Chain A
Amino acid sequence: NAGVTQTPKFQVLKTGQSMTLQCAQDMNHNSMYWYRQDPGMGLRLIYYSASEGTTDKGEVPNGYNVSRLNKREFSLRLESAAPSQTSVYFCASSEDIWIAGIYNEQFFGPGTRLTVL
C-alpha cells in the first residue's frame, strides 16, 4: 500500500516548455487534489477532483490544466511553463470532498520539485 505516489520527483524546464505531473493513489479515494508550495509558505490549492469525471478550480488555477484519468490517477499539466511556476507540487487524496460532519482527512504524496528557468 504505497498511498499517494508522484512522478517525477524533480524536473527542470525552460520557459515555454510543457510537462505533465503524474499522481496516483491506491487507497480507493474518490477525491484528489493538486497543491503548490512556494518557499517559506503553506500549500495552496490549484485544482481538485471531487470524483472521477469531475474537476474544479482551486485558489491558484491560472497556467494549469488537470485530468482525472480514472479513479486512481490525477495529472497536472503545465502547457507553457513560466518562472513563476517554480515551486514544489503536492498531490493529495481523501475519501470524499468536503462535506460537513464527514471524515475527510487528506493524505499527501512526496512532492515534485519543479524549477523553470
Chain B
Amino acid sequence: DQQVKQNSPSLSVQEGRISILNCDYTNSMFDYFLWYKKYPAEGPTFLISISSIKDKNEDGRFTVFLNKSAKHLSLHIVPSQPGDSAVYFCAASPEYGNKLVFGAGTILRVKS
C-alpha cells in the first residue's frame, strides 16, 4: 500500500524555468511533510518542510504548497539551476520526528 505517491518518475526542465514536483498521499493522519534531495551514492538532504496547519512554506528558490483537501503537495523550484538535477523525494509523517513514509522519488534534470 503506497501511502505516498510521486507519479512522475522523471521531469526535465530548462535552466531558469520553474520545476514543479508533485506528491499525493492517502493517509489523512499525516500532519507533516518534507522534501529531500538526493544525489547518486549520497544520503538524502533535507530541503523544505510544511506542517498540515499551513498551505505554503517558502525558503529561497524552494516553495512547498499543501492542499489538504486534495491530499496533494508540490515543490516549486524557481529558477531551476543545473545543480538542482537530482532525485527528489517527498516524505510524510504522522507525528513529530518518527517514521517518515517516502514516495518513490522523481528524477529532475535541469538542462542548461
Q: A and B: real partners?
A: no
